[in-house]
Structure 1
Amino acid sequence: MATVEELKLRVRELENELIKCKQKQCAAEDAHSQALNRPKIDKMSAEVVDSNPYSRLMALKRMGIVDDYERIRTFTVAVVGVGGVGSVTAEMLTRCGIGKLLLFDYDKVELANMNRLFFQPHQAGLSKVEAAEHTLRNINPDVSFETHNYNITTMENFTHFMDCISHGGLEEGKPVDLVLSCVDNFEARMAINTCAPPLVVAANIDEKTLKREGVCAASLPTTMGVVAGLLVQNVLKYLLKFGTVSYYLGYNAMQDFFPAMAMKANPQCNDRHCRRQQEEYKRTEAERPKVEVVQEEEEVVHEDNEWGIELVSEVTEEELKAASGTVPDLPEGITVAYTIPTEEKADGETVEETEQSLEELMAQMKKL
């Protein structure tokens, strides 16, 4: 009879074989879907046709919201953590036509992740970055992808992670334009950014006490979708320079409350590199020419306009005056929206008001 250790070993072997089978299946599906996918598009077009995947996005330029939407293809964004928020964030950026995406995650897709958006049951066992790349490349083949399946918090991996975001831009040797933190643990957040400590630091809580063995963290796909949508919306506003960027925006799902606040860098930050960057930013801001904001008066729109539209009243002043009734005596500051005109007989005599009912009036008319 086999021992417990031998059985565990056999289980692991079967699990590895299952993962390999799923990987082959995904590769076959990927090759099949790529054969059916559209070819790459060299230049974004604003042509309004059903076959143009960028027509709705390029319309932002035509509407005057964005100066040049096609600039989106020049940017590189790194998404750290391809879970509930990160995977949806990556999908939204892919559909928007971002130039390049770097995906970082060390975890695998599990059936327990099916409460989330994006991932599918047949991807269970695959690394999240690999599964994400398969899906995203099929959605938009114009986007460049770079995936890294490791934990960024280890010394060796963190060095490689810093190298990737420092030199992993679309242009060789250039840094990425934005790093999006979509991780779910304090250690990874600190590895990404030491100037904005999360709640567990401010509250002096040991993060290990927040997760207990056998206790499942509750999460809804709706919450992830809302958070990812707000994140990507601000990414687009920041990169394409439109609207107002929210540098800190919270979300209380129980009450639909969105607290917003301004955040500044910590001048007493322990990171020497961070303090040096702060000083460099101050110098850059000081050298930037000040732009005086001139309050322009709104122009009065007359009948002559660029559309050639003219409003012409079909009622003369005399007709309007004749059709108006008596204006009641009202207190100062109160006006009537309209008046009830007095009805006249055919010979010009005014019809007097009466309190008789309709039946009484009909009976009176029959006597005449």
Structure 2
Amino acid sequence: MSRTVPVLILTGYLGAGKTTVLNHLLGTGHARIGVVVNDFGEVGVDAGLVAGQVAEPVSIAGGCLCCIDDPRQLDDALRALSRPALALDAVVVEGSGIAEPPGLIQLVLGSGVATVRFGGLVEVVDAAQVPHAESGGWDLEQHVKAAAMVLLTKTDLASPGDVAQLRERILRANPHTTVLDAPHGAVDPRLFFDAAEHTVPEGGQLPLWEVGESLGQRHHEHHVHHRAATLEADAAVDPAALADLLEDPPRQVHRVKAVVDVRTPRGLQRFVAHSVAGYVTVERAPRAPDAPAHSVVVAIGPAWDDDAAVQPLLDALPRAAGDGVPTAPERRRLTRFA
């Protein structure tokens, strides 16, 4: 089984703060990130974090960048950026001008590139400029409907009452999204992907996060941290119960990742599953034939105060060996995503 790279779509109206969010992800988090843009000059990615405008993917300090001028080229860019040799942790598609958000989601979900998976759409909204944007024809409700997460930037420049009202409007339009205050564009990348530790050969380029720090990139105390609840059990899981969790996670959970065993008539089978705001991918994975059952499930979201709504759902996933093999319909609840 090839490792799949999550693809995040970053959208928002001009001036909402997409560039600030993108540069924060590039410059922090100890991650290697690929970027797909359709107009490098308009994106404004920090010049210290990229090598320059390119038409083909190039390796840069800690990440890679592809520039495309047509949505139909997206698959080519994703194929190039998800090559195992690049060892990227995530790919970010900057949505300005490439296509409307729902169209971009369909392009990623329908991608023929087997080495990528959809990692969610992030809509960036300037909390202080929503009335101005709407007067120019931007439709808040329409743009947040497809978002797995909405980041509210510049909340420090808006009144608390206006921010609260904005949050309510967003959740009415999309009850399944996660709304986070990110006044300076700072958000924990672990809400979106797992950042691996990468070593740099002697004499090689600095990783992106070190480049950002060497440029004096500002790090704010308003960083939004993540919270995780975990199940690790020497057992197989109930595939139907896991499917329920993946499709309809608790309100405070943004993404779920799982490496689990499921009992079948032919023995244990291993699956790797990911869910971002209810968008589910499941892949079959190899396992040693004689290895005992073992399952790990992690639910990740913005910091929450109480595990009561999350941990019990994880603890209920293991299926005792004495309960027998799940029925074919129960197994299909999970395998239909594969």
Sort the TM-score into its range (normalised by shorter chain): 0.3 to 0.5
TM-score when scaled to structure 2?
A: 0.33
With structure 1 as the length reference, what TM-score do the two structures score? 0.30
Which structure has more relative contact order (CA 8 Å, sep 6+)? It is: 2
Higher share in strand: 2
**Which structure shows the higher helix fraction?**
1
Larger Rg: 1
